[in-house]
Amino acid sequence: MSRRINKKRKFPIADPLYDSYLVNLMILKILKSGKKRVAQNILYESFTIIKRKTKTHPLKIFEKAIKNVSPSVKIQAKRVGGSTYQVPSEVKKFRGINLGLSWILKYAKTRSGKTIAIKLANEIVEASKGFGNSIRKKEETHRMARSNKAFAHFRR
């Protein structure tokens, strides 16, 4: 029998400026070398760019982008009898949000642009509208899960 204790997940505290824990999660994703103030400035600057571009509240666009990007299934590699199968499995809501945030940040870094704030703002706006690289990643994941549905009985 396992001696591991199941601990409750600690949700991050809400962001002081926008009063949203999703904003704080994104700040923690941007965070490098413990420089939280720099990460906050990057995200807040991208929010001002979003507000200037769309003329709407940036938090609504950010939440819509996360909703559009977060996946509901994932693909896991499983070895059975010498061959590897791509096994689809469901993703919990919190994990889906984290995957979506990391995809948005990953594809924002690969974009062309002057600063990371501009790149991040453009990726968030595109994700909220339903296109962009992070949306393409989600659709690719769902397509892989659909095509490998036959191996779902290998789930852990």
Q: Could you give the dihedral angle defined by the CA atoms of residues 13, 19, 24 and 25, in that order, rounded to the nearest 10 degrees?
A: 90
Quote the pLDDT of residue 45. 96
Place of tokens 């939440």: 63
Residue 77: φ, ψ to 5° = -85, 130
- pLDDT, residue 126, reads 94
Residue 62 · residue 22 · CB < 8 Å:
yes
Domain coordinates of the chain in residue numbers?
A: 21-154
pLDDT of residue 9: 76
End-to-end Cα separation, the chain, in angstroms: 18
Give the H or E element holding residue 118.
helix 116-129
> What SS3 string covers 63-94?
HHHHHHHCCCEEEEEEEECCEEEEEEEECCHH
pTM of the predicted structure, to 2 decimals: 0.86
144: left (phi over 0), alpha (psi -120 to 50) or beta: alpha
Per-residue pLDDT tens digits of the chain, which is 156 residues long? 678 888 887 777 888 898 999 999 999 999 988 899 999 999 999 999 999 999 999 999 999 999 999 999 988 888 888 888 778 888 999 999 999 999 999 999 999 889 999 999 999 999 999 989 999 999 999 888 888 777 766 666
Fold of 21-154: Ribosomal Protein S7 (1.10.455)
